[in-house]
Structure 1
């Protein structure tokens, strides 16, 4: 039991690091009464996130952390000799290679030496099993000479000799270099940035709940309805409600792909009171039904 609790606390640290990497500085690790090295590290990370948040706001920036926009799916299609015959549009961006550097190249060329043995083993297994499916961590060498550890699913296509390698990768974007996120004047504008940042963080942290009206949100953040409406669109290029609606759908899309939670439960987790409403909104946004997505059990 103690070992399981320790693993959960370490997992919370991993989650914190991921959230910070994607720009979410509102995430915090809950302190325990154990007062050990894990607690001390957690406290350091919490303080670091607070300091970064304060510095960004004092500098006159908003911090649009794209928790779900940053997560992209990379897909390689390999022939029976494990040569890359195709890949989706996210692969070049995720691995920092040009498309022509990837096409018709041995997939193993992009595997780091630390993963050679694992990849060779998986190749042998996939060659011998027409129904092969496995999940494994592989370390890639990127085009900018960095190592990228990624969990991949390796599977054979039915009625074909093709092999699919899928993974979920985080692509960080240089958002704060964009001038539209910079506030060019002093104190009054900075206080507006603080309000918009707090509203943005509030929405992302309460996607499972109904969105309060603009009037209630204005009262919560000591502002006015029209200021929230105009300010949010100015900084994030969308309305408050549309942002909330799209983020719920992005969260549901990710949960469907990465978990085995029933679809009706996912709809509830993402703030939809009725599955039919969720189904219609999802299909309108993505052009296909929630049940059309491949799930881990498949």
Structure 2
């Protein structure tokens, strides 16, 4: 197999072809895929023919898979906890109409980085489209390595060494979700560096709407700084979008990018998207199940 890499931007994003990722891959091809993911940050694979098992098997090339949160009242929709449901369908395959579900999912339309709100954080995410809306629902990606490299030197000096507190409930509040300060305070959070050394040897801004505050700054000043950095990183020269078709898979490096979902008519259009998430191997942790307690602290009528 010959891997073909077609860059999307000069420093960021590539479409990958020439390899059947639904089949077992030898060590040489796996190494090429790992290099491509590290180099380009986002890799787009079209018409993959992946089913759930093949999706999971391909994902294991990139590291340890996180498991979706345990919900005693709600077993995994796909029968596999390695698959995280980020669509708008219920267990029977019908469009969800509960406003709580719709509001929670709209948090994904804010710029964010997957799983920055747990201490183990995630390196790669692999999102597979099973069913997509006729219009809208694209995913936007931003190049946080190039954005850091292009920052003015005085801003680099200003943010050097800063730490940020990430909470998924904070970003959901920003999206309009009804949640109290106490629930956010008790809902779990993670302390992450604002500038993250990347395994490629480049530095990246580690940004997300999950950031509630910057350590050592007032919440107001910290939020202002986060907004400024997100606005910088979401300039056109750092961005591209993926328009989905069923069967497409996009792999992205959460340590080298941020992303957000595009709007679509989530009350009328079906969207079945399934994601695997890879734990950042550079974070030392004996946690076997990092996500399970994330959703246990809020009022269950809100989730």
Judge same fold: TM > 0.5, yes or no: no
- Bigger Cα Rg: 1
- Which one has the bigger strand percentage? 2
TM-score, normalisation: structure 2? 0.23
Q: Tell me: higher relative CO, structure 1 or 2? Use CA pairs within 8 A at least 6 residues apart.
A: 2
TM-score, normalisation: structure 1? 0.23
